[in-house]
């Protein structure tokens, strides 16, 4: 059995709606011709809007019917040639012209009333008396699309799918190049690579893991897209460090999930203090830390680990 558009469900919704629209337009146009109406059905939305709203500019009409300005200009010329509309100056701006319904246009709309009753009855027959529900669904769909374009909605759905697909995993030696790559890229984007950075990132095994630290990674579609480390600092304290998320994956909640994994590990470690050092220009990161339970406190005596660090925070718990 061969496939049809119906086979692909909602993926082909636009194609099926276009096909349905073409069929409805063709049927209405056929009925108009049979009734001696020379204008096509595509002209009547403008006529109805002009009847109910009064003289209106081409720009406003285009917005009201969801068509481009050139399309509405072309329709307006047809209506002018048919004598069912007239042009008039805009009292507020003489440079702008308005379209207004003529007496002939008003008479045409009155004459169309019986035929439109037939069209409404035919729509009910096609949609099995479900027209009110269909129109209500269309109203809601158009309102949603007005608030957020369909492309934006698709992007949001993609982000939701990716968010669900992210895995937080433990470090393994095979991921050493990814750990270094992401952190170096982050440093070069905002600061520069200091000597301590290069030492830790070049040999995370001896610099972090052998000293009792831990490294966590975020993986999406088989690729490492985020990192986070807990580094033993002595005296029962642990530093939250090496937080990096690849730019194209920011907004998926990866940093927060990495931090939550780090909290679990810290609580299981028996250490007494979890702290971090950051930079005040990293406002989004600072807000993330604050919302995760870190507070700003005075830095203990001694130099910061990194020259770029002008923020010191300690975790107060969940």
Tens digits of residue pLDDT in 288-318: 999 999 999 988 877 666 778 889 999 998 7
C-alpha separations of 268 from 23, 178, 263, 272, 294 in Å: 67, 26, 9, 11, 18
Structure confidence at residue 233 as a pLDDT band (50, 70, 90): confident
Which of 49-63, 185-199, 281-295 is least confident? 185-199
Q: Which residues contact 289 (CB under 8 A, 6 or more apart)?
A: 259, 276, 278, 313
Digit-coded pLDDT (tens) for 92-136: 877 788 999 999 999 999 999 999 999 999 999 999 888 999 999
Rounded CA Rg of the chain: 33
Token pair, residue 93, equals: 């701006």
* Cα 112 to Cα 214: distance, rounded to the nearest angstrom: 77
Q: Which residues contact 227 (CB under 8 A, 6 or more apart)?
A: 178, 179, 182, 183, 215, 216, 217, 218, 242, 243, 244, 258
- How confident is the model over 75-97, as a mean pLDDT? 89
* Cα 272 to Cα 314: distance, rounded to the nearest angstrom: 11
- Looking at the chain, the whole-number percentage of residues with pLDDT higher than 70 is 98
- Looking at the chain, the whole-number percentage of residues with pLDDT higher than 90 is 74
* Cα 178 to Cα 169: distance, rounded to the nearest angstrom: 13
Residue 199 pLDDT exceeds 80:
yes
Looking at every residue in the chain, the average pLDDT score rounds to 91
H/E stretch holding 7? none
Whether residue 227 contacts residue 258, with contact meaning beta carbons closer than 8 Å, is answered with yes
Q: Domains in the chain, ordered, with CATH?
A: 5-147 (1.10.10.10), 166-315 (3.40.630.30)
For the question of whether the overall pTM of this predicted structure is more than 0.75, the answer is no
């Amino acid at each position: 059995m061969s496939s049809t558009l119906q086979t692909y469900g909602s993926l082909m919704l636009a194609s099926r709606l276009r096909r349905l629209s073409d069929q409805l337009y063709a049927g209405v146009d056929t009925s108009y011709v049979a009734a001696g109406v020379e204008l096509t059905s595509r002209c009547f939305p403008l006529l109805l809007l002009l009847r109910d709203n009064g003289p209106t500019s081409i720009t406003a009409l285009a917005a009201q019917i969801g068509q481009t300005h050139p399309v509405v200009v072309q329709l307006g010329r047809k209506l002018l040639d048919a004598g069912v509309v007239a042009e008039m100056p805009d009292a507020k701006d003489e440079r702008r012209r308005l379209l207004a319904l003529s007496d002939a246009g008003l008479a045409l709309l009155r004459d169309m009333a019986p035929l439109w009753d037939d069209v409404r009855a035919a729509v009910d027959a096609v949609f099995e008396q479900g027209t009110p529900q269909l129109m209500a669904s269309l109203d809601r769909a158009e309102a949603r699309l007005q608030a957020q374009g369909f492309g934006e909605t698709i992007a949001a759905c993609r982000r939701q799918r990716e968010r669900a697909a992210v895995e937080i995993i433990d470090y393994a030696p095979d991921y050493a190049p990814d750990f270094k790559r992401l952190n170096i890229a982050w440093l070069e984007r905002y600061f520069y690579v200091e000597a301590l950075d290069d030492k830790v990132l070049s040999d995370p095994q001896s610099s972090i893991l052998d000293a009792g630290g831990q490294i966590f990674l975020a993986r999406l579609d088989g690729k490492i897209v985020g990192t986070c480390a807990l580094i033993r600092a002595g005296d029962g304290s642990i530093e939250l460090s090496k937080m990096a998320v690849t730019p194209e994956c920011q907004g998926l909640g990866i940093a927060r999930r990495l931090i939550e994994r780090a909290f679990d590990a810290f609580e299981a470690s028996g250490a007494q203090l979890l702290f971090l050092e950051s930079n005040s220009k990293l406002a989004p990161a600072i807000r993330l830390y604050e919302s995760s339970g870190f507070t700003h406190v005075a830095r203990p005596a001694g130099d910061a680990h990194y020259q770029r660090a002008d923020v010191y925070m300690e975790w107060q718990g969940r």
